[in-house]
Amino acid sequence: MKKTGLINSSISAAIAGMGHTDSITVCDSGLPIHENVQRIDLALVKGVPTFIETVEAVLLELKVEEIVVAEEFETASPVVYERLLEAVEKLNGAVKITKLAHEDFKTLTASSKAIIRTGEFTPYANVILKSGVVF
């Protein structure tokens, strides 16, 4: 049994299998998930678990060099957007931030190794985390 870090075996395995520039998506409860991408569904009820809690847990184990968000996220949900940026900087340091139109963001999620669905009900609370290297 693991002593530290993520105890969700599906998320832990997805991260362990990632290489440089591979991506994993953390999303709200409404983002469509492509059939060809591993779905890790954590959603229990509205708000459980939250998007930020899930991102923070993932960032404990994943080195990130870039995040990708929908352009609409910052204006539609500014509080959660700022909390995302704070979490990324606190747990990972400075990273590149790429903003795409929401439709383009949804298309890009098809290349993720996995999509982690949360119970979040905040509009546009979705992020693609691109893996960096630890050396």
20 is catalytic: yes
Q: Which member of 20, 39, 90, 96 is catalytic? A: 20
Determine if residue 34 is labeled as part of a ligand binding site: no
- The residues, any chain, with a CB within 8 Å of residue 111's CB and separated by 6 or more, are 23
Determine if residue 41 is labeled as part of a ligand binding site: no
Determine if residue 104 is labeled as part of a ligand binding site: no
Residues 128, 103: Cα–Cα separation, whole Å: 14
Q: Measuring CA to CA, how many Å separate 87 from each of 9, 23, 63, 72?
A: 22, 18, 13, 19
Determine if residue 81 is labeled as part of a ligand binding site: no
Determine if residue 124 is labeled as part of a ligand binding site: yes
* Binding-site sequence positions for substrate: 28, 102, 124-126
Which residues are identified as catalytic?
Answer: 20
* Binding-site sequence positions: 28, 102, 124-126
